[in-house]
Amino acid sequence: MKVSHFAAAAAIALMGFAAGGALATPSTIALAVHNPNRPDKDTVRDDARKPVEVLNFAGVKPGQQVLELIPGGGYFTRLLSVAVGPTGHVTEAVPLVGGADMAKASNGVAADPHFPNVSEEPMSPDVLLKGAGQYDLVWTSQNYHDLHLSALKLDVVGLDRLIYASLKPGGEFFIEDHAAKPGSDVTPTADALHRIDEDFVKKEVESVGFVLARESDVLRNPADDHTLLVFNPAIRGHTDQFLLVFKKPK
Residues linked to residue 148 through DSSP beta bridges, in sequence order: none
Q: How far apart are CA 89 and CA 118, in angstroms?
A: 6
Q: How far apart are CA 164 and CA 69, in angstroms?
A: 13
pTM for the full model? 0.87
What is the per-residue burial (b if ≥16 Cβ within 10 Å, else e) of 10-22?
Answer: eebeeeeeeeeee
3-state secondary structure string across 112-135: CCCCCCEEEEECCHHHHHCCCCCE
User: Is domain 42-247 given the CATH code 3.40.50.150 in the classification?
Assistant: yes
Q: Is the pLDDT of residue 16 over 80?
A: no
> HSE on the CB side for 1, CA within 13 Å?
3
Residue pLDDT, tens place only, 99-126: 555 556 789 999 999 999 999 998 888 8
* Mean pLDDT across 178-189: 97
What are the residue ranges spanned by the domains of the chain?
Answer: 42-247
